[in-house]
Structure 1
Amino acid sequence: MAIKLTRRQQQFLSQFLDFYHEVEQPIHYPDLAERLGIGKITAYEMLRLLEERGLVEAEYYLPPGNRGPGRSTVHFIPTSKAKQLLTELSGGSSDDDDWEEFKERILQQLREGQAAGYEDLISDLFVRIPDQSSP
């Protein structure tokens, strides 16, 4: 699973995953943009790029109570590909672990060089989550 992401894309993905694990539901891109302090278009375009790479998936929803014609909203979720990659790196199952512990295990494996082959994708994943506000 050799996926090439820039540092900016990696940081954005890590922030998206953190937010997703907090809210535990599909994320509407304007909500993500607000949380990260970036423009809605920037968030949307980055999510579409991650979708092209197979790391997130778009889901479309009609507003509640709207049964007729109208514009749907697009929400994003991480794919099984992204979850599988993180689970492999952690050496376990993310479903059974606290999210913070899960991230720490991944970081520890990266520090110890046990994540061979995934450095390009994960090198800065989760490192700058609280410090970065742009993808």
Structure 2
Amino acid sequence: MSLTNRRKQFLEELVHIYAKTNEPIHYSEIAKTIGVSKWTAYDILKELEKHQFLEKTYSVNPNETGRSLVVFVPTEKSKDMFLKERVHITSEDEWTGIKENVLAFIHQTKSLDNQITPLLERMPHAPYKIEVCAQFLGVLLVYLNNQGSNVQHLTLNMLNISKNPAIQLSTFVGAVTGMIIESASETISPEMVELLRQFTHALEELKEEELIYLIHLLEDLRA
């Protein structure tokens, strides 16, 4: 099947919604996002399913007892097409959305208990490499918040050791990750190592401006 621009638009939208929520998507949600009727959206998603870009499944309808909703999830074929294409954010608005989610996580999370495993599960679905890095920084900042203001201040001041944002981030992350691993249980330590691995791989692919966004995130919290 040749992906027309129209079909590609629908598929890309569904893939990126799925990457953010990790939940099956009802065709009415795609219809609303793109601005078409739900039946148009359903027909196009069915075509994409027929050619193995999507998989159809069913979920419980919260509004009608005993009736199911038809929902769709992207196949690996679709995720490979779009999640690998869009490694970088393309606007400051995209960064603002990522930053707001990370700040909300930091302010709402009191400790790392039961937080590491869900984050590990979410990170592969993050549509942008900078989002992987920002989520990991959020985990480190939650930990620092529990260490007292002096430790937090001293650790964030490590950003002053260099003008190179990649070095600044690597130094900060290395210091805090080391603290967590040293104090954590045996079950948490391997998970932190895996998070660090994913962060490092993502960091290597970031553009200079994306690295600076991450530094600004840390500096805002230091202020």
Amino acid at match of 1:61: S
Structure 1 runs of 4+ off > 3 angstroms? Answer: 64-67, 84-90, 95-98
Q: Which has the larger radius of gyration?
A: 2
Say if 2:61 and 2:69, in contact at 8 Å, map to a contact too: yes
Higher helix share: 2
Q: Which residue of 2 aligns with 1:52?
A: 50
Question: Counterpart in 1 of 2:68?
Answer: 72
Q: Counterpart in 1 of 2:78?
A: 82
TM-score w.r.t. structure 1 length? Answer: 0.57
TM-score scaled to structure 2, two decimals? 0.36
Q: CA deviation at 1:37?
A: 1.6
- Paired residue type of 2:52: G
1:99 alignment partner, SS class: coil
Q: CA RMSD in A?
A: 3.0
Alignment equivalent of 2:127, drawn from 93, 96, 99? 99
Shift of 1:83: 2.6
Unaligned runs of 5+ in 1: 103-135
State the percentage of identical aligned residues. 34
Aligned residue among 23, 30, 33 for 2:31: 33
CA distances 1:39-87 after superposition (whole Å, capped 9, x unpaired): 10011011000001100011112335977xx431111100122234457
Higher relative contact order (CA 8 A, sep 6+): 1
> How far does residue 88 in structure 1 lie from its aligned partner after superposition?
7.1
Aligned residues: 95
- Counterpart of 1:4 (choices 2, 6, 16) is 2
